[in-house]
Structure 1
């Protein structure tokens, strides 16, 4: 649907050169809600603006449904870009126009019949929940309502792609949640592919199915949201994941590690999904002559799949503790031992995606 092939963008100011994008290769499949995340200056906004050629790449290709938009003549490009809607962080509404007129604007510019414009605007305002605000002006609306107008305006020409450039950054958490739920409906009901630019991992977690991580103009990691959360490979990605799923060991837990290491050890049990429904931790405690205390837990859901970690204290004879941990590992669960300084090392011989449900 959207394909970036070796896309680079260079900005020149006097004798200075800024490499905003460096050889970006990303494919967004039809029907994706694809997120691009990075800190300020990572190049993500420049990237999204190359899709509708608000920024023309210095090199490389941007393909939409197989067509190279970087080589389309200007007159034909204007028509092709009607297939791409865009919503912005600061709404970009015309304050002198009503909600109705703001939504109708792209249809007026496309010279659509007045009766068809009225039908379409009425339909789309009902979809975004603003039927009763058609005659209001932007300064009479809340931030969330303004963004709904922005979404309605972007949807009015019936695009197949929707670009969202930090679309929720100016909104409070509750309003952000409602806007993300609306974007999910857009994706599901209108079958529109969505590309989201954000610096908030919570946005990625709530709405996206795939994600790319950018840093200093480069793509450093990409994959399914579940895989990126479960197995981040870079420091930057791990920091983003930790903003949503806390996986560092609390200091109170570290203090416990100074207990007798022969009778008490601390482990972090990481789980990614559930298949068997077996309460592995409680089952282990019953099977072996050990006592297991759950000291800390952080559990969330990614696309309906449980994801998180438990920090457990296992008390017992050295051999019993080892046998108990080996049993947990055999359930295809990743286990890390927590050292006195808070560092962790994996007990498993290899990483697994497994089936643990805490009991």
Structure 2
């Protein structure tokens, strides 16, 4: 559907060359809700603007449904852009026009008949829940309503691709959730491929099925949202994941742990899928002569699959500790020892089902 093939973009600024994009190779499949995440300056907004050639790549190709956009004539490009809708961070509405007129604008520019425009505008306003706001002006709307108008306008021409450039970053959390639910509805009911640019991992978690992580103009990691959350391989990605799935213990908790005559060791246990439902801690405590102190626990759901982690202190003599650890390692989880300052070392993989959150 969308292919970035060796895409680079260089800007000239005060006799300096700024490499906004460096050899990007990413494929967005038809029907994907594909997220691109990165900190400010990572190049993600430049990337999304190459899809409809608001920014022309310095080198490489952007291919839409098998067509290289840069190779099209002006007329062909205009036609192709009708299949690409775009939603902006700050709505980009015309304040002097009503909601109806804002949504109708792409249809008017496409020289559609008046009746066809009216039918389509009211159809799409019903879909986004704003039919009763058709005669209102943007300054009479809330931020969430304005973004719904922006979405309606982007959908007016029945595009096959929807681009979202930080579409929720100007909204409060509750409104963000409603907009994300609307995007999911658009993807499911209209079968529109969606490309989302964001710096919020919560957005990726809630709505996307695949994601690419950008840093300094490069894609440093990409894959399914589930795999990226479960097995992040770069520090940048791990930091983004931790903003949604916490896996650390406050330093004050470590300071409260008491030493006694028995060995005390701290471990992080990561669960994936079915293993998340196991009563692992109680089984271990019943089976072996160890005390288990749960320091931290967390579980989240991604695309219907649970991901969880526990940080526990195991207390007992060396022999019982090793027996208990071996039992835990055999339960389709991953076990990693944690030092007193909270850093991880000594990963123990147990099966293909296990997963790593590297520290």
- TM-score between both structures, scaled by the size of structure 2: 0.95
Counterpart-to-counterpart distance in 2, 1:109 and 1:123: 19
Give the structure 2 partner of residue 266 of structure 1. Answer: 266
Structure 1 pair 143–349 and aligned structure 2 pair: CA distance change class (3 A): closer
Structure 1 pair 137–10 and aligned structure 2 pair: CA distance change class (3 A): same
Give 1:9 deviation, angstroms: 0.5
| CA deviation string 1:86-121 (max 9, x = no partner) | 000000001111001111110111111111111111
Give the structure 1 partner of residue 150 of structure 2. Answer: 150
Structure 1 pair 61–275 and aligned structure 2 pair: CA distance change class (3 A): same
Give 1:320 deviation, angstroms: 1.3
- Are the aligned partners of 2:232 and 2:238 in contact in 1 as well (CA < 8 Å)? yes
Counterpart-to-counterpart distance in 1, 2:221 and 2:259: 40
Give the structure 1 partner of residue 124 of structure 2. Answer: 124
SS at match of 2:82: helix
RMSD between aligned alpha carbons?
A: 1.6
Tell me the number of residue pairs that the alignment of Structure 1 and Structure 2 aligns. Answer: 355
Give 1:331 deviation, angstroms: 1.0
Give the structure 2 partner of residue 28 of structure 1. Answer: 28
Give the structure 1 partner of residue 317 of structure 2. Answer: 317
- Are the aligned partners of 1:48 and 1:165 in contact in 2 as well (CA < 8 Å)? yes
Bigger mean CA deviation after superposition, 35-44 or 250-259? 250-259
Counterpart-to-counterpart distance in 1, 2:276 and 2:265: 27
- Are the aligned partners of 1:5 and 1:25 in contact in 2 as well (CA < 8 Å)? yes
Give the structure 1 partner of residue 72 of structure 2. Answer: 72
Structure 1 pair 325–205 and aligned structure 2 pair: CA distance change class (3 A): same
Counterpart-to-counterpart distance in 1, 2:334 and 2:256: 22
Structure 1 pair 271–6 and aligned structure 2 pair: CA distance change class (3 A): same
Counterpart-to-counterpart distance in 1, 2:17 and 2:327: 57
Counterpart-to-counterpart distance in 1, 2:188 and 2:338: 43
Q: Does 1:327 align with 2:351?
A: no
Q: Does 1:286 align with 2:286?
A: yes
Structure 1 pair 32–43 and aligned structure 2 pair: CA distance change class (3 A): same
Structure 1: 5+ residue stretches without partners: none
| CA deviation string 1:17-49 (max 9, x = no partner) | 111100000000111100000111110000000
Counterpart-to-counterpart distance in 2, 1:176 and 1:18: 33
Counterpart-to-counterpart distance in 2, 1:50 and 1:121: 28
Mapping 1:94-113, distance limit 5 Å: 94-113=94-113
Give the structure 2 partner of residue 136 of structure 1. Answer: 136
SS at match of 1:274: helix
Give the structure 1 partner of residue 210 of structure 2. Answer: 210
- Are the aligned partners of 1:249 and 1:342 in contact in 2 as well (CA < 8 Å)? yes
Structure 1 pair 156–92 and aligned structure 2 pair: CA distance change class (3 A): same
Give 1:77 deviation, angstroms: 0.2
Counterpart-to-counterpart distance in 1, 2:303 and 2:351: 21
Counterpart-to-counterpart distance in 2, 1:256 and 1:325: 23
Structure 1 pair 47–351 and aligned structure 2 pair: CA distance change class (3 A): farther
Give the structure 2 partner of residue 254 of structure 1. Answer: 254
Give the structure 1 partner of residue 184 of structure 2. Answer: 184
- TM-score between both structures, scaled by the size of structure 1: 0.95
Give the structure 1 partner of residue 43 of structure 2. Answer: 43
Counterpart-to-counterpart distance in 2, 1:344 and 1:257: 17
Structure 1 pair 120–254 and aligned structure 2 pair: CA distance change class (3 A): same
Counterpart-to-counterpart distance in 2, 1:351 and 1:169: 39
- Are the aligned partners of 1:5 and 1:61 in contact in 2 as well (CA < 8 Å)? yes
- Are the aligned partners of 1:30 and 1:193 in contact in 2 as well (CA < 8 Å)? yes
Give the structure 1 partner of residue 170 of structure 2. Answer: 170
Q: Does 1:61 align with 2:51?
A: no
- Are the aligned partners of 1:274 and 1:354 in contact in 2 as well (CA < 8 Å)? no
Give the structure 2 partner of residue 159 of structure 1. Answer: 159
Counterpart-to-counterpart distance in 2, 1:116 and 1:103: 13
Counterpart-to-counterpart distance in 2, 1:346 and 1:174: 41
